[in-house]
């Protein structure tokens, strides 16, 4: 269950913190880190294993009640903290840290405005991009079990449109109406529900099904129940999340190792380069000078390779600004147009006229890596040479695609194509371009990337938010948690 907790904490659209039975912080998500940052905490490791009381009062905290009783506590409350009015929807879940220690998962969503009704809550959810884009399935439903809000994950996983979901009963998500009737009765009685369900969505045109670990509880404000909330962990998404974490760890470990090794290698390389320069100056032999030039050229190749490897350890806090997408591509494509013209490659560009909030440097790296990869594939290709770039927006996201008419990607490397040092170009590639692209899209921009390849060519797709949130990269820390 360790993966479930990590997935829940990392993807929760509010402050998520795990404390142990001594009230020490074991783990927090990015939103918690940003909140602590306002109190002067600079890095995640500065608050790990520190008492939560150093940051927040525990007086009257339901987290203590959850730890003391072993039962979940949840609801809506308002209170003052640091001279600031807080309005939060909270859920505090008991968990095991190890065989002899217990803890609590603290989940809080803050609201700027006072919540009095379900309509107020729906409007606040709609205004919160973290909730909409969360990998968790999140729904609000009224006392009759009718959906009032669904986020993107619910829409994507159900195979339906949001307009087809709002106003429908939450019952139609589930294969067994009896089971969901029981869930709604428990919610109506004020009970907390935590279970696993197989969801066979018969209303979807794609007839999608999935296994979900769900958490649901009633929302009571001013002593009156106004509805309920559903949080779903799609276990298929959990597997994908675990695979991504493993990839991130490999990339980050390689980057740290490369950083140490390359700095040791660069000094002797610079000495060799200086000797080659000096040798050429003092040589009057034309043939010998060619050897010196060859040495300089090879060292330059090694330097370029080391710079590419160092990119794995050299990411920074995002510098986010709004740009017109056509303006960004105009800059990126200046060099690419020349390379395509040289290789007799037809380049087509079809972009919507839209603005995106992005780190331009990292975004440019994604596009250049994919385009350079496509150009290299087509360079020795004897048939039709064509590259097509498209971008379109939908539901606050932008989908980019880069197609090349080259040969189909072999089946044997498809599963590993984004892994470090896996190359589509055999011995002619470093196997880093697609790895770096994957890392930027999924780890930094919190997006998704995939490809389709057949006899007609290959298309790489990536999807990111139209307005990227401010993000500080945080290394994954190990946790000993075994389950909620």
User: Is it true that domain 319-467 has CATH number 3.30.565.10?
Assistant: yes
Q: What is the pLDDT of residue 1?
A: 41
Q: What is the pLDDT of residues 188-245, one digit of tens each?
A: 778 888 877 766 665 555 545 677 788 889 999 988 999 999 998 877 666 666 666 6
Please report the pLDDT score of residue 47 as a whole number. 67
CATH fold for the domain made of 2-239: Beta-Lactamase (3.30.450)
List pLDDT tens digits, range 390-444.
999 887 889 999 999 999 998 888 888 887 766 655 545 555 788 888 888 888 8
Q: What is the pLDDT of residue 481?
A: 24
The set of residues, in sequence order, having a beta carbon less than 8 Å from that of 302 and lying 6+ positions away, is: 269
pTM: predicted TM-score of the whole model, two decimal places: 0.62
The larger pLDDT score, comparing residue 325 to residue 84, is at 325
pLDDT over threshold 80, residue 122: yes
Res 119: pLDDT: 95
Q: Which of 83-92, 297-306, 373-382 has the lowest mean pLDDT?
A: 297-306
Average pLDDT, the chain: 80
Domain regions of the chain by residue span: 2-239, 319-467
Query: What does the alpha-carbon distance between residue 25 and residue 97 come to, in Å, rounded to a whole number?
Result: 12
Instruction: Provide the 10 A C-beta neighbour count for residue 179.
Output: 13
pLDDT digits (tens, 9 = 90+) for 440-480: 888 888 888 999 999 899 999 999 988 876 554 433 333 33
For residue 289, pLDDT over 70 is answered with yes
pLDDT of residue 296: 82
Q: How confident is the model at residue 361 (pLDDT cuts 50, 70, 90)?
A: confident
Residue 31 pLDDT exceeds 60 = yes
For residue 45, pLDDT over 70 is answered with: no
Q: Is the pLDDT of residue 367 over 90?
A: yes
| pLDDT value of position 69 | 87
The pLDDT of residue 473 = 43
Tallying the residues shown for the chain, one arrives at 484
């Amino acid at each position: 269950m360790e993966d479930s907790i990590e997935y829940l904490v990392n993807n929760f659209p509010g402050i998520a913190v795990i404390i142990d039975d001594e009230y020490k912080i074991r783990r927090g998500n990015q939103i918690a880190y940003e909140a602590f940052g306002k109190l002067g905490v600079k890095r995640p490791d500065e608050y790990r294993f520190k008492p939560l009381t150093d940051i927040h009062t525990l007086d009257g905290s339901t987290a203590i009640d959850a730890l003391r009783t072993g039962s979940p506590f949840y609801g809506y409350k308002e209170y003052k903290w640091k001279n600031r009015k807080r309005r939060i929807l909270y859920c505090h879940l008991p968990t095991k840290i190890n065989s002899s220690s217990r803890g609590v998962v603290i989940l809080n969503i803050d609201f700027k405005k006072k919540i009095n009704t379900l309509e107020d809550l729906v409007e606040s959810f709609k205004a919160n991009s973290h909730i909409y884009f969360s990998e968790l399935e999140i729904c609000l439903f009224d006392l009759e079990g009718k959906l009032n809000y669904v986020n993107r994950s619910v829409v994507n996983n159900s195979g339906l449109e949001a307009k087809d979901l709002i106003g429908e009963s939450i019952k139609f998500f589930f294969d067994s109406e009896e089971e969901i009737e029981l869930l709604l009765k428990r919610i109506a009685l004020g009970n907390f529900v935590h279970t696993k369900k197989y969801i066979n969505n018969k209303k979807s045109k794609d007839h999608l099904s999935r296994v979900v670990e769900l958490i649901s509880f009633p929302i009571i404000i001013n002593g009156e129940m106004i509805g309920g909330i559903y949080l779903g962990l799609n276990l298929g998404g959990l597997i994908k999340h675990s695979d991504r974490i493993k990839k991130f760890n490999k990339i980050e470990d390689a980057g740290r190792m490369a950083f140490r090794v390359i700095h040791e290698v660069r000094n002797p390389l610079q000495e060799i380069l200086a000797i080659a320069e000096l040798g050429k100056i003092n040589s009057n032999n034309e043939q010998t000078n060619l050897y010196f030039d060859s040495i300089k050229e090879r060292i330059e190749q090694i330097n370029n390779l080391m710079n590419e490897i160092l990119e794995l350890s050299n990411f920074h806090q995002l510098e986010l600004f709004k740009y017109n997408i056509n303006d960004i591509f105009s800059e990126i494509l200046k060099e690419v147009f020349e390379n395509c013209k040289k290789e007799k490659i037809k380049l087509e560009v079809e972009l919507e006229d839209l603005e995106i909030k992005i780190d331009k440097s990292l975004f440019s790296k994604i596009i250049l890596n994919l385009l350079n990869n496509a150009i290299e594939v087509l360079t020795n290709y004897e048939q039709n040479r064509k590259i097509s770039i498209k971008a379109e927006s939908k539901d606050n996201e932008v989908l980019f695609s880069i197609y090349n008419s080259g040969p189909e990607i072999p089946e044997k490397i498809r599963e590993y194509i984004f892994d470090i040092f896996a190359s589509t170009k055999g011995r002619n590639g470093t196997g880093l371009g697609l790895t770096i692209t994957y890392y930027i899209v999924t780890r930094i921009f919190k997006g998704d990337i995939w490809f389709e390849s057949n006899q007609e060519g290959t298309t790489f797709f990536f999807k990111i938010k139209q307005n990227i949130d401010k993000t500080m990269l945080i290394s994954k820390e190990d946790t000993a948690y075994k389950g909620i």
